[in-house]
């Protein structure tokens, strides 16, 4: 289950009737088009489902940091009154932090207003649907990969750890003025050269030729943002 405000309960449910709401009006008023989660300003908001962020402008009542997450099935989840929002076009996974609770727009206090729309790209009464299926969506947990830094030294051959190192070096080649190398799993001349260049460029050491190794500080720099945790 992916609650968009972890640890908080719904304080105003979808479909509740009241005079403040306009959709599907009858003598009792309109319906509440989403689920509200009251929480202190700054409380973490996470993606209920994976998808692509799209900044929205569904009306000033929802605040200036409103956004939607477009999902693969053609529906979207809408987040309103938040005080922050993720980058437009960013791809996010279920359970990933995307914003913080706020009170922007027409709001009586800090809370997240969360909606689910039948189709992407518009706000009107006909696209509203109960957001519970989004809230009940299970997040896919990606296991964290590790690399043992004791393997990251000159002379190591046929190593998965070295392949990870070589890919990381290639991703940051431009930042050190280096060259991309073949991903072979063999820590030899080319890998030695790029590791030492990285050390000198970023202050991680100055190993002799053919005697280099990657320390923990350098490993954390190289593998940052790659879903890989270096271990001793």
What's the predicted TM-score (pTM) here? 0.62
Does residue 41 have a pLDDT over 70? yes
d(CA 216, CA 153): 12
What pLDDT does 144 receive? 53
pLDDT category of residue 15 using cuts at 50, 70 and 90: very high
Strand ranges inside 58-192, DSSP E: 67-70, 76-80, 91-92, 97-100, 111-117, 128-129, 145-148
What pLDDT does 228 receive? 87
What pLDDT does 143 receive? 46
* Cβ-count burial 217-228 (b if 16+ within 10 Å, e if not): ebbebbbeeeeb
pLDDT category of residue 139 using cuts at 50, 70 and 90: low
Does residue 112 have a pLDDT over 70? yes
Mean pLDDT confidence for 78-99: 96
d(CA 11, CA 39): 10
- Other CB atoms within a 10 A radius of the CB of residue 13 amount to 14
């Amino acid at each position: 289950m992916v609650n968009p405000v972890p640890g908080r309960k719904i304080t105003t449910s979808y479909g509740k009737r009241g005079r403040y709401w306009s959709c599907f009006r009858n003598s009792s008023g309109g319906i509440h088009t989403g689920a509200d989660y009251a929480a202190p300003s700054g409380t973490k908001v996470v993606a209920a489902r994976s998808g692509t962020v799209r900044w929205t402008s569904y009306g000033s009542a929802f605040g200036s940091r409103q956004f939607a997450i477009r999902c693969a099935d053609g529906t979207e989840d809408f987040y309103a009154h938040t005080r922050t929002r993720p980058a437009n076009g960013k791809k996010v996974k279920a359970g990933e932090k995307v914003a913080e609770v706020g009170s922007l727009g027409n709001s009586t206090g800090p809370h997240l207003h969360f909606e689910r729309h039948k189709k992407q790209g518009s706000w009107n009464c006909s696209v509203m649907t109960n957001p519970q299926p989004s809230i009940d969506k299970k997040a896919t947990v990606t296991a964290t990969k590790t690399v043992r830094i004791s393997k990251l030294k000159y002379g190591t051959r046929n190593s998965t750890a070295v392949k990870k190192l070589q890919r990381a070096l290639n991703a940051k080649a431009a930042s050190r003025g280096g060259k991309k190398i073949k991903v072979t799993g063999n820590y030899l001349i080319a890998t030695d050269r790029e590791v030492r260049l990285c050390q000198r460029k970023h202050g991680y050491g100055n190993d002799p030729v053919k005697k280099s190794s990657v320390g923990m500080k350098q490993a954390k720099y190289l593998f940052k943002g790659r879903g890989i945790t270096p271990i001793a």
